[in-house]
Amino acid sequence: MVRYSEELIDEIRSSNDIVDVISQYVTLKRSGRSFFGLCPFHKEKSPSFSVSPDKQLFHCFGCGAGGNVIHFISKIENVNFIESLQILAERAGITLPTLQNSEDDKKQQLRKKVFEINEKAALFYHQHLYQPSAKPAQEYVKKRKLTNKTLKNFLLGYSGNFNELYVFLKQQGFKDEEILASSLVNKTEDGKMIDRFRKRLMFPICDVRGRVIAFGGRVLDDSKPKYINSPETIVYTKGRHLYGLNVAKNNDLKELIIVEGYMDAISLHQREIPNAVASLGTALTEAQRKIT
């Protein structure tokens, strides 16, 4: 919930004279201490809509509408209280503070940062795939006969050895709490920051809009587990997404072929079967059924 202080609301109200504001919408005529006009909220032939400059309130004797200048704007512009305040603040030349402190806003900011981190990490891993140190990954994609076009389409990558991603993200100006929120880096008990994915072939997982929301990583030797995936984060809920759907969506598709793993989906794409997606788990969830 977005909130402005009571003082600020008072300032906005007192900076917008109710007669001035309502006169922009209703023709008002003075009668005694009040102004009268035709009510904008119900149909009428004789004026029963009154505005009191002393009380800074309006009231309609016909339909019962009433309130202060903020309520009037809200009602006539069909906007909520906050939007109404914003309209009136702008009218009076009052700069509103950005609502940085509200919890919702903080969460939104963090989500934005995590999306940025994921995007940068995907590119970081991808570029790494072409470097000499990525030999195991290069041999693997060669063995699986993946073309360079496929590597680019799916932004496949290779993760470093220890904390290369962490160092890179710090250089990019991200804060530790933002990096930890992405779950791409873990903090050890003795306070060291270490990349979650190390020496793995990396599969960025995107949402339908193409934003990177999580990663899968495959080992390139016999160590276990063969695959690890991002845990749930502020931008990723398991069972809500289909791997490859963002690529599949570029084609005009009537139906999807659902396969189990990343490599299955990628191989099918490469064989000109663009509607293959992976369920990222064993069973298709209700949410995944819906997005198809």
For residues 47 and 51, what is the distance between their CA atoms, to the nearest angstrom? 11
- The nearest distance, CB 49 to Zn ion, in angstroms, is 6
> Cis link prior to 53 (omega < 30° from 0)?
no
| Least distance between Zn ion and beta carbon 41 (Å) | 5
Our CB check for Zn ion shows the closer of 76 and 219 to be 76
Cβ proximity to Zn ion: between 75 and 198 the closer is 75
How many whole angstroms separate alpha carbon 195 and alpha carbon 55? 63
Q: Measured between alpha carbons, how far is residue 151 from residues 35, 36, 122, 224, 276 in Å?
A: 72, 71, 12, 24, 16
Report, in Å, the least distance between residue 88 CB and Zn ion: 21
What's the chain's Rg over C-alpha atoms? 29
Q: Please report how the helices 69-76 and 6-14 are oriented relative to each other, as an axis angle in degrees rounded to 10.
A: 80
Nearer to Zn ion, 47 or 217 (CB): 47
Whichever of 42 and 289 has its CB closer to Zn ion, that residue is 42
- Residue 201 · residue 141 · CB < 8 Å: yes
CB of 79 to Zn ion, least distance (A): 19
CA gap 96, 80 in Å, rounded: 16
Shortest gap between Cβ of 50 and Zn ion (angstroms)? 10
Residues that bind Zn ion (CB under 5 A): 39, 41-42, 60, 62-63
Pick between residue 41 and residue 115 the one whose CB is nearest to Zn ion.
41
